[in-house]
Structure formats: C-alpha cells, structure tokens
Amino acid sequence: MYGEFARIYDKLQSINYEKYVEYIESIFRKFDKKPELVLDLACGSGTLTCMMTEKGYDMIGLDLSPEMLDIANEKAKEKELDILFINQDMCDFELYGTVDAVICSLDGVNYITDPEDLKKVFALVKNYLNPDGIMIFDINSEYKLRQILGENTFVEDEDGVFYVWQNEFDEEEKICTFILDIFEEDEDGKYSRFEEYQEERAYSTAELEEIITDAGLPKPAFYKEFSFDNPDVETERIFGVIVRG
C-alpha cells in the first residue's frame, strides 16, 4: 500500500488541511491542553505534519510507507522545517520518550482492520503519551464506508491522472475494499498504468470505546466532523478525543 500511489497521493486529495489544523487546535483549547511535542501517527505525505510545525509544535511524523515519508521529508526540507520522520508500523512503534499529544488523521484508524492490532496501537499510545496528554483521531464512519463508498465506482480525471475507483463492502467483516486502476500521464503525454489496493474497517463508536478502554486509556469523546456536536447516523467523519489527566 502507498508504493507507486505515494507520488500521486497529493494530486488526488481535496482535503482542507487548514481546517484540520484549526479544529485540532480548537480541541486543544477546549480541553485546556498546550502540547509542545506531538506525534503524527500515519502521517502520510506529511502535509498536516508540516502545517502543525509551522504553527509552532515540535512534530514527529510516523508512517509505514517509505515512499510517503520520502515525500514528507522533501516537503519539510523545502519549507526548512525540522521534523523527525520515522518509518515504522503504527501497530508496533517505538519512540525515544513520551509526547504531549498524538494525532492520527484521515482514516489512519480505519486502515487497522484487525481490532486486536488496533488495541495494540492504543496501548502503545498509552505508553508514550504523557499523563496529562491528549490524543485526537478521526475515522470514516460505518455509514460512509457502507453507504457512500461501499458498492460504488468512481471515475476521475485530475491533473494528468485518470483512475477508476471500485469499492466493495463486506457486511460480515465490516471491511471496505478499495481497488484503484490508475493511469498516470508522463512528460511525453503517454500513460503508465498501475493498481492500488486498500482496505478500511468500519468501527462503531461503541467498538472503539471498548478497544480504547481495554488498552488502558480513558473513555473517548466522539464528535461530528469539525464540531463539538454528537455524531448522528449519517455523520461521514467522526473525531475521537482521548484525554489523560
């Protein structure tokens, strides 16, 4: 996952990262947290990591994909930002010390399809998060994976990349499979083709609460995207907040 796809990832995104940063900081304020050292789990191509650094946070970016981290490193160098990027599996990561906050954005939790593996992630967060620390994560909701993405096909042509995105939702396993057939235009106007295969698991807030508390962390608060309202049955993105101390 995120091998060849890494180089076109940013082209295909329409994410309002500024809104993400503003919302993360609003959560810090709501819970009276002033973190200095922040871990960005599943940081991907590093856009959010760099923006948080520009806001004055000391950032660590961790991701499984070396290709994504190469792009993240280039972004940081271009902006002359001092960021530690680590190539590790978020299910089995190691840090040199503890952090004040952990963020895991843009479906990082959904990509952990085994609930036992996800419990390992939160147990590691417990180990490395300071006693008065905070974790913020967001997920694609079960409604979105089943009703919006699942069993649907999307065709897009953007910035020299044409792709067909086919999805299937497994009701028993609650896993949505994404298959992207991608054609990328080169400098000569020719197209090269490759395929990207991904899976995301749908987690209910009740499941997540059980996993998180079993890992030894306090109960999370859940919010409708970019608000402090409770999620409803048609909420597509849900934010979770875990506060220690």
Half-sphere exposure of 39 (CA within 13 A, CB side): 29
**Mean local confidence (pLDDT), 155-168:** 85
Same domain, yes or no, for 79 and 169?
Answer: no
Strands (E), 150-216: 153-158, 161-170, 175-185, 191-201
Same domain, yes or no, for 103 and 176?
Answer: no
Same domain, yes or no, for 150 and 217?
Answer: no
Same domain, yes or no, for 208 and 97?
Answer: yes
Sign of the Cα torsion 144, 148, 151, 157 reads negative
Q: Give pLDDT tens digits for 98-153.
A: 999 999 999 999 999 999 999 999 999 999 999 999 999 999 999 999 999 998 89
CA-based R_g, the chain, Å: 18
* 71 domain-assigned: yes
Residue 12 has pLDDT above 80, yes or no: no
Give 18's strand partners: none
The answer to whether the beta carbons of residues 112 and 118 sit under 8 Å apart is: yes
Q: Quote the tokens at residue 149.
A: 């993405």
Same domain, yes or no, for 37 and 148?
Answer: no
Output the pLDDT for position 131: 96
Nearest to 7 by CA among 188, 190, 182: 182
CA–CA distance, 86 with 183 (Å, rounded to integer): 30
Exposed, middle or buried, 179 (CB in 10 Å: 0-12/13-18/19+)?
Answer: middle
Residue 20 has pLDDT above 60, yes or no: yes
Same domain, yes or no, for 172 and 90?
Answer: no
CA–CA distance, 6 with 166 (Å, rounded to integer): 19
Output the pLDDT for position 140: 97
Query: What is the band of 192 on the pLDDT scale with cuts at 50, 70, 90?
Result: confident
Residue 1 has pLDDT above 60, yes or no: no
**CATH classification of the domain holding 86:** 3.40.50.150
CA–CA distance, 51 with 73 (Å, rounded to integer): 13
3-state secondary structure of 3: coil
* 95 domain-assigned: yes
In degrees and rounded to multiples of 5, residue 24 shows phi and psi of -60, -45
* 228 domain-assigned: yes
* 1 domain-assigned: no
Q: Give pLDDT tens digits for 194-235.
A: 888 999 999 999 999 999 999 999 999 999 999 999 999 999
Query: What is the band of 169 on the pLDDT scale with cuts at 50, 70, 90?
Result: very high
Same domain, yes or no, for 124 and 60?
Answer: yes
Same domain, yes or no, for 58 and 173?
Answer: no
Same domain, yes or no, for 64 and 92?
Answer: yes
> How many domains, in total, are found in the chain?
2
Q: Quote the tokens at residue 177.
A: 């499979």
Same domain, yes or no, for 68 and 102?
Answer: yes
**Mean local confidence (pLDDT), 32-47:** 97
This prediction has a pTM of: 0.93
**CATH classification of the domain holding 179:** 2.20.25.110
Output the pLDDT for position 4: 64
Nearest to 43 by CA among 31, 51, 35: 51
Residue 187 has pLDDT above 80, yes or no: no
Same domain, yes or no, for 129 and 77?
Answer: yes
Neighbours of 176 (CB within 10 A): 25
* 148 domain-assigned: yes
CA–CA distance, 108 with 104 (Å, rounded to integer): 6
* 98 domain-assigned: yes
Is the backbone of residue 2 left (phi > 0), alpha (psi -120 to 50) or beta? left
Higher pLDDT, 122 or 160: 122
Same domain, yes or no, for 148 and 39?
Answer: no
* 150 domain-assigned: yes
Q: Give pLDDT tens digits for 52-103.
A: 999 999 999 999 999 999 999 999 999 999 999 999 999 999 999 999 999 9
Output the pLDDT for position 196: 86
CA–CA distance, 24 with 161 (Å, rounded to integer): 31
Residue-range definition of the domain harbouring residue 213: 6-140+202-243
